[in-house]
Chain A
């Protein structure tokens, strides 16, 4: 059995893992990245559409182009990348953490390090998570699986498609299936408003005259060996109107019904999970409840832009480097999600420096006010022309907002959208 020691090991070689590892490497730490796929890049490799990199590179790139720029930097660094290697378990009991991995090349591999960065990303919710009644025929895919089949493996999973859920991946797949010659008959969304951004509604649905059924529930999937259709029922004032239900014939159903951080390894290692994000609860340095274990990217909370993922992950890498050097926050202030805010990440800030926070709104609103209160006193208030749940917001709190906290017994920052 092969055993290797590093200062830090990063789990996951997608955008988050590469960004965190590059930062650790730049700080002179020895780093390994463990990736279960054949190459680095993560989910970006199947996201061949454009729209990536506007913040990071000031250009609109496709997913693989964005990934390749990071892969190149990794190749030029001293980072040890272990591809085709799966982490089975994280043992955090000792002074050194041990990752027990299964590698396609060397069999069982043990990587030991003082710091671990979790960057495993997220996975799609599936039919079981949304409980669609009916039989279990072939032809039901998550949108991301269909994306992989079409864009990487070169298979078209069906001809007549219905997309359930109006998240961005579903909308982008509606366009992709249209562009490869399929007929997309409908996108069905349970909520009264679309989950994806307007740009995708226009360019992925309107361009192809694909109907979007808002406030409709998929109440049945028909078919024995292969999908034959779906039954769609309108929702009015919160009640299903069964008498208005209708059928849409199709041979393939794509599900785009949300993403969940992939935290099985973290849970097994005793990392505390925040039920609002399904990601780890982290302090002002993005460290989880297990000392020396950090988290970033979609495994921490689901992002909508890879640009935000790399920005956050670079910070996680820098914080992990600080921790390895023995630096700890002197004091921390708890952060609370106030009215109309679903969650704020990280859950703590450190006075004396700038803290970047990511948050998600619970409401769709124009001319909103983003407000931060320190023990009921407003310390920051900024206008937002538009807020909606599908667009993550950012907020920077620095010394001017936080340094008065020293005089308070139990300081707490509450962030609200008014």
Chain B
């Protein structure tokens, strides 16, 4: 079966046609440079995505529960991301693990929130310092 892909390595957006996905020996056409073939191989055989999300702050109150003043600071969510692109089929599981977290303040940017997520060797780090 021929698979069709748009290459995202650069803005040219080459339309790639790939044969032989089932057998594992890919034949890529339509690419204007070698990066297109490499992209097609990874995207079809082992697609990866950088995951960004937010997790809960321990003890955060909803704005309407606060007493006057600013409702936006300190933030009620801490942003985080996977330190490297993550296997795509595992992304929903990783998101669930992030949503189950409750991070105690203070937190600093770069702090590891989940080490070796789902046994992939990839850490999830906080991307904002909140004190």
A residues touching B (Cβ–Cβ < 8 Å)? Answer: 38-39, 45, 48-50, 60-62, 64-65, 68, 84, 150-154, 179, 197-199, 201-203, 207, 366, 385-386, 388, 391
Chain A, residue nearest B49 (CB)? A203
For A201, what are the chain B residues with a Cβ–Cβ distance below 8 Å? 6
Question: What is the bound-complex CA distance between A149 and B50, given in angstroms?
Answer: 22
Structural contact, B129 and A68, CB atoms closer than 8 A:
yes
* Interface 0/1 of B31-52, CB less than 8 Å to A: 0000000000000000001101
Whether, in the assembled complex, B87 has its beta carbon less than 8 Å from a beta carbon of chain A, the answer is no
Number of interface residues of B (CB under 8 A): 31
Contact across chains for B128 and A45 when beta carbons are under 8 A apart: yes
On whether A50 and B52 interact (CB within 8 A), knowing A68-B109, A203-B8, the answer reads yes
The CA of A391 and the CA of B13, in the complex, are separated in Å by 13
Give Cα distance in the complex from A61 to B125, angstroms: 12
Asked whether any CB of chain A lies closer than 8 Å to the CB of B20, the reply is no
B residues 41-89 in Cβ contact with A at 8 Å: 49-50, 52-54, 56, 60, 63, 70-73, 75-77, 79, 81, 88
Residue in chain B with minimal CB distance to A51: B50
Check if B128 sits within 8 Å of A68, measured CB to CB.
Answer: yes
Given known A203-B49, A391-B11, contact A65–B6 (CB-CB < 8 A) = no
List chain B positions with a Cβ less than 8 A from chain A: 6-8, 10-13, 49-50, 52-54, 56, 60, 63, 70-73, 75-77, 79, 81, 88, 95, 109-110, 127-129
Chain B at the A interface: SS class = loop
Chain A contacts of B7 at CB under 8 A?
198
With A153-B77, A391-B11 as given contacts, are A62 and B53 in contact (CB-CB < 8 Å)?
no
Q: Are A65 and B72 in contact (CB under 8 A)?
A: no
Question: Beyond A48-B81, A388-B11: 6 further Cβ-contacts under 8 Å?
Answer: A50-B81, A64-B128, A65-B109, A151-B77, A152-B75, A202-B8
Complex: A50 Cα to B84 Cα, angstroms: 11
30 A-B residue pairs with CB within 8 Å: A38-B70, A38-B72, A48-B52, A48-B53, A48-B54, A50-B81, A60-B50, A61-B127, A62-B81, A62-B127, A64-B128, A65-B109, A65-B128, A68-B128, A150-B54, A151-B54, A151-B77, A152-B75, A152-B77, A153-B63, A153-B75, A153-B76, A154-B54, A154-B77, A179-B95, A203-B8, A207-B49, A386-B10, A386-B13, A388-B11
CA gap between A202 and B73 in the complex, in Å: 35
A61 neighbours in B (Cβ, 8 Å): 127
Task: Name the B residues within 8 Å of A386 (CB-CB).
Answer: 10-13
